[in-house]
Amino acid sequence: MIQTKNLYTPPEKIISNMIKKDRLAHSFLLVGPQGSKKTEKAIELSKILLCKNITKKDNLLTYCDKCSSCRKVNSFLHPDMHIIEPEDGVIKINQIREIKRILSLKPLEGKNRVCIISHAETMRIEASNALLKVLEEPPNGAYIFLTSPNARLLLPTIVSRSIILRCKPKDFLTLFEILKEEIPQLPTELYNFSLHLSEGNLDKAKVFLSQEFLFWRKKLFSYLSHKKAWVKELFFLTEYMSQDQDIFNNCLELLKSWVRDVLLFNKHGACPKILNLDLLAFIQAGSKLYETKRLYKFISQLDFASVAIVRNINLSLFAEALLIELKK
């Protein structure tokens, strides 16, 4: 039997555990590729917060789907659930101001109010700043679900105030078998790596398994795992990363996985949760070069890069500056 490791925690389980511990956050960000039904999942999670007869199923707290509250959510008629979608392709500041007004009111039924912001990545900067003020001081019983293909498309300050919930279009094992059939004879570790790095996006996972990407992945990890910054390698890596925004974004995700793995190795050694297991030697070398504090600074730099890339920056100059900064 093929052994696969599934690092995915279902959103329902995260919500259930937070309710059990009486530590429910006020803001959640649902991320996932196209087809992962993020808005539908947000509505489903809203039912848990609005249900009048919370029940227990498979050791998880969940909605009953029978009470008047659940039926109203199913019919989009619940007075305490509000869904915001882009107008003319963007979410405007007036829509966020309306959310703030609604959430400041007492619930009409039950104890909670819920707002779902679909395609939150379309918020303009003024709308994002207005939402940030709501997240900084959320009213009691007010909960916000944001949906976006990727967390990096939102302001880091919004992401940092939200619990990230990952939505996947198909179960892990199904995707694993599809990849194995279409791209056979690769190590299990590579299938695992590509699926988790792509967050269940099958097309993206195939890109991550291409010979070109795997070649540059090894080059990038080698560069990070040595003390000296090699000018020749820096030039070639910069040239590759700056070809287009998709490649640059893929490299950012790859860099984040490297940082994550080095942090894991520092704490647990060669544990199964490491994504880049086939390049464990580079992970181990990185753990000897960088202190934990420096690694967390890496994460901040990579998050900044994720936001900056949507501003029509010079990819070549930015990639070079980023790679040099990571080696300081």
pTM: 0.58
What's the CA gap between 7 and 168, in Å, rounded? 12
* Model confidence at 88: pLDDT above 70: yes
The structural architecture, per CATH, of the domain 210-327 is: Up-down Bundle (1.20)
The answer to whether 322 and 261 are in contact (CB under 8 A) is no
**Segment 91-119, tens digit of pLDDT:** 999 999 999 999 999 999 989 999 999 99
Q: Which residue has the tokens 């690769």?
A: 186
pLDDT at 1: 32
Give burial (CB, 10 Å; 0-12/13-18/19+) of 54: middle
**Segment 19-67, tens digit of pLDDT:** 988 889 999 999 987 667 899 999 999 999 999 998 888 778 889 999 9
Q: Which residue has the tokens 């070639």?
A: 236
The answer to whether 205 and 178 are in contact (CB under 8 A) is no
Q: Where are the domains of the chain?
A: 11-166, 210-327
The answer to whether 321 and 241 are in contact (CB under 8 A) is no
What's the CA gap between 27 and 205, in Å, rounded? 29
pLDDT at 6: 46
Give the CATH superfamily of 11-166. P-loop containing nucleotide triphosphate hydrolases (3.40.50.300)
* Model confidence at 2: pLDDT above 50: no
The model's confidence at residue 3, banded by pLDDT at 50, 70 and 90, is: very low
**Segment 229-267, tens digit of pLDDT:** 677 888 899 999 999 888 998 999 999 999 999 999 998
The answer to whether 320 and 233 are in contact (CB under 8 A) is no
Closest C-alpha among 317, 316, 325 to residue 297: 325
The model's confidence at residue 312, banded by pLDDT at 50, 70 and 90, is: low
| Mean pLDDT for all residues in the chain | 88
What's the CA gap between 255 and 190, in Å, rounded? 16
Would the CATH topology of 11-166 be identical to that of 210-327?
no
